[in-house]
């Protein structure tokens, strides 16, 4: 960080915190229909900020849900364009009684701004706005054209964004896209997440359509939907925890040896990962480390089972239907349709005649990998180095951020994850917070990124 940038951040730190508090004060809870006016007010606040930054065309685009904010700053065809994606909606704050201070009355305490959405993701989006403000103040111009796409439905799965992306593609055309909606390792340990697994979330149901039966009178004589479900689910894994589904990994692209060596050099060892998960026993594999099993290998997790009598005390009844939820994490080049079919077929082998097996897809997201040597990844690396005065670590994540694959596919643009949250920001939880020290580093990093992309 240069002296001029540090001086600017110091001089404006109080105003930055005050403006971020204004943004966090909107109770923009996308899952609550009653919050629609707050969502709209929050979107209009962003439009005003963007106009002040020189985006004369900043505007709301109506959808069947919350409006989307778009804006463009600069239109020089000789310069690269950077798309900055953000979301202004937040998770519900309930239970409000768990908060030390009200979730939508932001306060600064101990160097953090506290409030729902401070970290996920208003603080991260705000850093980009202030980076543009700072570049214009210090240099009089921007090194690139910038396009903003800020939605208000991320926390409910962005139901209206895919259609809109098609319509807006020419307006959003860009050289690189930035998504800031994830965490770095620590305030002094920046990181760039360059790979995410895809997601396929399935509801599974076994039903017979018969009435429930007395488990004494009929126990042993008839099939039990819950037992059938459990037997079917047991066919998905081996006792080691490895997936036992035939064909599941057939299309998985083998990770090259140098990449695996790189992962070993920067990623957690099995012991470190074990510490991180509170010494819960790890699944076993001779071929892959735990870090590899949760990033470059696909997984099937049983995340819910519902059936039979689950109340207190005793009720002896043979269930006629039962349900489960499966969260499947995908890697390149698995095909979600093939995986879904293979799971269905494997479960079906355990289902006796007279029972019906049904599966229903609840969510789907494609896996994402941005080559660490891609120029955009390199630009992000140099930007973090400048903004944090520390070397960023390239990490893979086992989770999924659907918007990343959505943007990449709809706009055919490399997407770089430039997160500015911290692992202990308590995103989605009570007393969510955003570090003001992080805000300064994030503003500097975002500004450096726009300069580095222009090189």
We find the least distance from the C-beta atom of residue 426 to Zn ion, in angstroms, to be 13
Cβ closest to Zn ion, residue 352 vs residue 399: 399
Cβ closest to Zn ion, residue 133 vs residue 155: 155
Stretch that binds Zn ion, among 30-38, 76-84, 119-127, 135-143 (CB under 5 A): 119-127
We find the least distance from the C-beta atom of residue 158 to Zn ion, in angstroms, to be 11
- Taking CB under 5 A as the rule, does residue 451 contact Zn ion? no
Ranges of beta strands (E only) in 136-265 are 145-151, 176-179, 191-196, 198-207, 213-214
426: alpha, beta or left? (left if phi > 0; alpha if psi -120 to 50) = left
Q: Please, what is the Cα angle at 244 between 241 and 249, to 5 degrees?
A: 105
Q: Return the residues of window 143-182 that contact Zn ion according to CB under 5 A.
A: 181
Stretch that binds Zn ion, among 3-11, 121-129, 301-309, 428-436 (CB under 5 A): 121-129
Mark 263-292 as b/e (b = at least 16 C-beta within 10 Å).
Answer: beeebbeeeebeeeeeeeebeeeeebbbbb
- Taking CB under 5 A as the rule, does residue 121 contact Zn ion? yes
Q: Please, what is the Cα angle at 361 between 158 and 235, to 5 degrees?
A: 140
Which residues, listed in sequence order, are joined to residue 113 by a DSSP beta bridge?
108, 434
Structure tokens at 77: 């065809």
Q: Return the residues of window 179-218 that contact Zn ion according to CB under 5 A.
A: 181
We find the least distance from the C-beta atom of residue 268 to Zn ion, in angstroms, to be 24
We find the least distance from the C-beta atom of residue 83 to Zn ion, in angstroms, to be 17
Distance from C-alpha of 282 to C-alpha of 276, rounded to nearest angstrom: 11
| Length of the chain measured in residues | 455
Helix, strand, or coil here: 390? coil
- Taking CB under 5 A as the rule, does residue 120 contact Zn ion? yes
Cβ closest to Zn ion, residue 165 vs residue 427: 427
We find the least distance from the C-beta atom of residue 427 to Zn ion, in angstroms, to be 7
- Taking CB under 5 A as the rule, does residue 125 contact Zn ion? no
Cβ closest to Zn ion, residue 59 vs residue 428: 428
We find the least distance from the C-beta atom of residue 380 to Zn ion, in angstroms, to be 19
Strand ordering across the sheet containing 191-196: 368-369, 191-196, 393-397
- Taking CB under 5 A as the rule, does residue 425 contact Zn ion? no
Size of interface with Zn ion, in residues (CB under 5 A)? 3
Residue with tokens 């110091």: 10
Stretch that binds Zn ion, among 49-57, 60-68, 113-121, 354-362 (CB under 5 A): 113-121
We find the least distance from the C-beta atom of residue 392 to Zn ion, in angstroms, to be 20
Q: Residues interacting with Zn ion, by CB under 5 A?
A: 120-121, 181
């Amino acid at each position: 960080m240069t002296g001029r940038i540090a001086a600017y951040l110091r001089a404006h730190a109080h105003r930055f915190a005050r403006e971020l508090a204004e943004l966090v004060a909107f109770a923009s809870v996308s899952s609550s229909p009653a919050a629609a006016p707050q969502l709209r007010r929050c979107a209009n606040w962003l439009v005003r900020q963007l106009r002040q930054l020189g985006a004369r065309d900043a505007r709301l685009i109506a959808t069947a849900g919350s409006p989307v904010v778009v804006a463009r700053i600069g239109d020089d065809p000789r310069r690269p364009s950077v798309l900055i994606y953000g979301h202004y909606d937040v998770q519900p704050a309930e239970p409000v009684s768990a908060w030390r201070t009200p979730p939508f009355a932001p306060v600064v305490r101990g160097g953090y701004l506290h409030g729902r959405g401070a970290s996920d993701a208003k603080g991260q989006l705000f850093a980009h706005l202030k980076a543009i403000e700072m570049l214009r103040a210090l240099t009089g111009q921007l090194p690139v054209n910038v396009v903003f796409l800020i939605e208000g439905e991320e926390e409910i799965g962005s139901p209206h964004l895919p259609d809109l992306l098609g319509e807006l593609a020419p307006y959003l055309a860009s050289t690189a896209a930035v998504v800031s909606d994830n965490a770095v390792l620590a305030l002094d340990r920046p990181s760039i997440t360059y790979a995410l697994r895809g997601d396929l979330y399935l509801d599974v149901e076994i039903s017979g359509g018969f009435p429930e039966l007395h488990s004494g009178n009929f126990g042993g004589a008839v099939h039990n939907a819950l037992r059938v479900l459990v037997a079917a689910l047991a066919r998905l894994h081996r006792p080691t925890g490895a997936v036992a589904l035939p064909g599941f990994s057939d299309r998985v692209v083998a990770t090259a040896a140098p990449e695996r060596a790189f992962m070993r050099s920067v990623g957690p060892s099995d012991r470190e990962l074990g510490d991180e998960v509170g010494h819960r026993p790890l699944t076993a594999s001779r071929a892959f480390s735990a870090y590899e099993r949760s990033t470059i290998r696909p997984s099937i997790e049983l995340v819910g089972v519902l059936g039979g009598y689950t109340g207190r005390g005793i009720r002896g009844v043979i269930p006629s239907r039962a349900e489960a939820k499966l969260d499947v994490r995908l890697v390149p080049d698995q095909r979600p349709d093939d995986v879904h079919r293979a799971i269905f077929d494997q479960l079906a082998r355990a289902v006796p005649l007279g029972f019906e097996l049904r599966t229903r897809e609840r969510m789907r997201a494609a896996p994402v990998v941005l080559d660490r040597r891609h120029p955009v990844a390199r630009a992000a690396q140099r930007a973090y180095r400048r903004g944090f005065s520390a070397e960023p670590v390239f990490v893979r994540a086992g989770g999924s951020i659907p918007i990343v694959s959505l943007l990449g596919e709809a706009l055919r643009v490399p997407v770089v994850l430039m997160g500015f949250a911290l692992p202990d920001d308590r995103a989605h939880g009570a007393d969510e917070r955003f570090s003001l020290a992080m805000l300064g580093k994030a503003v500097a990093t975002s500004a450096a990124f726009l300069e580095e992309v222009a090189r």
